Amino acid sequence: MTDPSIFNARDPRCKTPYGAVPSGTRVALTLRPRRADGWSRAVLRARFEFRGEEIAEVPMPWTGLDGDRDLFSCALDTGDYVGLVWYSFRLERLDGKALELPERQLTVYDGAHSVPAWFGEGVTYQILPDRFRRTCVPDPAGMVGGRSVHTGWFEEPVWRPDARGEVRNRDFFGGSLAGVEEKLDYLQSLGVETLYFCPIFEAAENHRYGTADYERVDPMLGSNEDFQDLCAAARARGIRVMLDGVFNHQGFVSRYFNGDGFYPELGAHQSKASPYYPWYHFNRWPDQYDAWWGIYSLPAVNESQEDYVDYIIEGEDSIVRRWLRAGADGWRLDVADELPDAFIEKLHRAAREAKPEAVIIGEVWEDGSNKIAYGVRRRHLLGGHLDGLMNYPFRNALLAWLLGGDAGQFRESMETIRENYPPAAFYSAMNSLGTHDTPRILTLLGVGGDCGGESKQWRAEHRLSPEERALGVRRLKLAALVQYAFPGSPTTYYGDEAGMEGFEDPFNRRTYPWGEEDAELIAWYRALGKARRELAPLRRGALCYTAAEGDVLAFTRTWEEDTVLCACNAGRERARVTLPWSAAEIGGLLCFPTDPDTGEAVVELPPLTGYLLRKSPGRE
C-alpha cells in the first residue's frame, strides 16, 4: 500500500493551488517520501485527456529536506489547455526499485467564463406547479391530454394502471401560477431567493416533462402574461425564477410530434412533410422511433438538427431567449448528460446574451467533473457549459451519515467534489435533500430507507408512525441545518418544510398540505432561511472541517473576519465538539448550547441535535 504521506493533493505542502485550476496555471507539486526509504529520483507523468491522450513527463529534482522527509518538486504548466489532466508519480532508487503512485485528477477549466453568484448564495425552493397551490378547481375541457381534475385538494394522485395497463399521469389537481403568486409572502418568509419550477409549458401529463408547446404556459397554470406578472411580483420581493428546460425529449402529444392528432398542424407522426419530422429519428415511421429510456410517450429529439437548435437556442426569438426576456433568470436542464456538449454550450451562450446574469444548472446525478455519458467525457464544468449541477452526491452522502454512517465518509465525498469542481461550480451547486425524482426526505429519514421490498400498495398507504415521524423530524432538522450551512444553494422541495411524506412518484408529488403544516418544521426552516439570507459566511464563506468522525460532523464557514460554525450529532448518545474559539467568543443563532461566560471550549451535543454558532464580531 502506498504511503499516503508521500503525496496528499489537499495538503498545500504537496500541491498548490488547491483543487481545480484555471487554464494557464502553473501547479506546484511536491513529493514527500521518508528519507530512510532512499528514493533518489522522481518523475511526474501527466496525461492530457482532451488532447488525444498527450502525455508529458516532467523531472522532479530533489529540492531539500523537511525533517525526515526528502522533497522532490516540479511545476506542471497547464498552458492553454482546458480539460482533465490525469497525473501520477514515479519514485526510483539507485538499486532499481521503483514506486508508482496512483493516478489523480486535475480539472483545468476556462477561467474566462464567470458564474453569477446569486444562485449559489441564496435559498432555492422547488415547485411542482400542479401540486403547490390552486385558487379554484379548473375546467379541463378543451385542454390537451384528455385530463381529469381532482375536486378534493387532499385526494390521492392516481397510481394504479388503467385498463390498458398504463399510468398516464393525466389526473391534475389544478395548481396555478396565481396560486404561487398568492403564496409569495410565505416563500419570502422562508428566506427563498430562487423559485425553481418543474416544467410550466403546455403538456398532456401532470408533471409536464413531455412538453407539448414550448411557447405557451399550460393553460391550467395560467397564461404567458400570468408568468410575467409572477416574475415581476417575485422580483419585487428579491426572488428570482428558474425554469425547467426539457430539451432532450418532448411529448407524444405535442405540436411537434402530434401522436394523437390533437393539434391542427401536421406533426412528425402524421406526415414526413411536417417541418418537425427531421427533429426525430424513426426506425420505422410512424410508430417506431427513438424515445427517452424507451418510453413511447416521450419521443427523443435530435439535438443536433439545425432547425431544432434554431428554435430552442439560436433564433432571435428562441425558446431559451424569449422566456428569459419574459422574466426568468435561469434554466435547469433536464437530463443534461443526454444533451450534446455543443448544444449546452450554445444554450449557455444564448442565455447570457439574453440576460448576462442568467444561470444554467444541469441535472447530473454523479460527480459531474469526470462524467462519461454515451462514451463521451462531458465538459459540463469546464466553462461556458453548465454553471452548476444538481448535487446528488451531497444528498447521498448526507443521508448515509444520518442513517448510521460515518461523518468522515461525508467529508471525504464532499472534499472529492470540492477538489474536482471549479470553485464557482462548487459554490453554485443545487443542494437538494429531495426532488420530484426521489422519495420524500422525511419518509426516508423516518423509516430508514425507500422500502423498495414492500408492495406498491403498501408504499401508497404507508404513513409514518408517531415514533417514525418524531425520529424523521429530528433527523430532517439536522439534515436541513447542514444543507443551509454548506456551500451551494440549499434547495427545498415544496412541502418538505411542512412535513410532507411519501415514497416514490407519485407519492412524493402529493399536494402541499395547506392548513395542516408541521409548525415546528416550518419554524426551523424559517430560522435557517433567515440565517442564510443575513450571514455572509453562509452565503459565500470558505469551508473548513473541525470534526468529521462517527456521528459528529462540524465545519466552519468564514468570510473576511466573520465565522459561523455548524456542529451536528446524528447519534443516539451525547457527543462533544471542541470549538475553534472559546465559548466567550460565541454568538448563538439558533440556540445557546453553553454559557458564554464560562470560557468552556467544548460544546456538548445531545443526541440528534445540531447547533449553528457564530463567532462574536470583533473578538479574536
Q: Coil, strand or helix: which one is 266?
A: coil
**pLDDT at position 600:** 56
Q: What are phi and psi of 473, to 5 degrees?
A: -65, -45
**pLDDT at position 321:** 98
> Taking a C-beta distance cutoff of 8 angstroms, is the pair 427, 475 a contact?
no
Element (H, E) at 532: helix 519-534
**pLDDT at position 589:** 55
Q: What are 99's three cell numbers? A: 514506486
> Taking a C-beta distance cutoff of 8 angstroms, is the pair 6, 33 a contact?
yes
Is 605 inside any structural domain?
yes
- Residues composing the chain: 620
Q: Give the whole-angstrom CA distance, residue 2 versus residue 34.
A: 12
Is 572 inside any structural domain?
yes
Q: Coil, strand or helix: which one is 540?
A: helix
Q: Output the pTM of the full model.
A: 0.96
Is 597 inside any structural domain?
yes
Q: Give the whole-angstrom CA distance, residue 391 versus residue 434.
A: 11
Rounded alpha-carbon distances, angstroms, from residue 114 to 83, 301, 352, 393, 592: 17, 30, 11, 24, 39
Q: Coil, strand or helix: which one is 196?
A: strand
Nearest to 588 by CA among 610, 573, 572: 610
Domain end (from 258, 281, 300): 300
Nearest to 166 by CA among 146, 193, 196, 142: 146
Is 565 inside any structural domain?
yes
Q: Give the whole-angstrom CA distance, residue 148 versus residue 172.
A: 6
The contacts of residue 8 (CB under 8 Å, 6+ apart) are 14, 15
Q: What is the mean pLDDT of each run of 10 residues along the chain (620 residues)?
A: 86 98 98 96 96 92 96 97 98 94 97 96 98 97 96 97 92 98 98 98 98 98 98 98 98 97 96 98 96 96 97 98 98 98 98 98 98 96 98 98 98 98 98 98 97 96 98 98 98 98 97 98 98 97 97 97 95 90 65 48 89 73
**pLDDT at position 529:** 98
Catalytic residue among 130, 244, 363, 387: 363
- CATH assignment of the domain containing 19: 2.60.40.10
> In the block, which residue shows the cell 458564554?
596
Is 144 inside any structural domain?
no
**pLDDT at position 597:** 52
Rounded alpha-carbon distances, angstroms, from residue 424 to 386, 395, 537: 11, 19, 16
> Taking a C-beta distance cutoff of 8 angstroms, is the pair 418, 544 a contact?
no
Is 126 inside any structural domain?
no
Catalytic residue among 130, 329, 334, 501: 334
Its domain, for residue 259, covers 250-300
> In the block, which residue shows the cell 415544496?
494
Q: ∠ CA(176), CA(182), CA(185), 5° rounding?
A: 135
Q: What are 14's three cell numbers? A: 504537496
Residue 334 a catalytic site member: yes
Q: Give the whole-angstrom CA distance, residue 217 versus residue 176.
A: 10
- CATH assignment of the domain containing 546: 2.60.40.1180
Amino acid at 374: Y
Q: Give the whole-angstrom CA distance, residue 288 versus residue 299.
A: 10
Residue 363 a catalytic site member: yes
Is 592 inside any structural domain?
yes
Q: What are 13's three cell numbers? A: 505542502
| Number of domains into which the chain is organized | 3
Q: Give the whole-angstrom CA distance, residue 87 versus residue 56.
A: 9
Domain end (from 285, 300, 315): 300
**pLDDT at position 580:** 81
Domain end (from 80, 109, 138): 109
Q: Give the whole-angstrom CA distance, residue 576 versus residue 122.
A: 31
Render 600-619 in DSSP notation, one character per residue: --EEEE-TTEEEEEEEPTT-
Is 218 inside any structural domain?
no
Q: Give the whole-angstrom CA distance, residue 565 versus residue 554.
A: 7
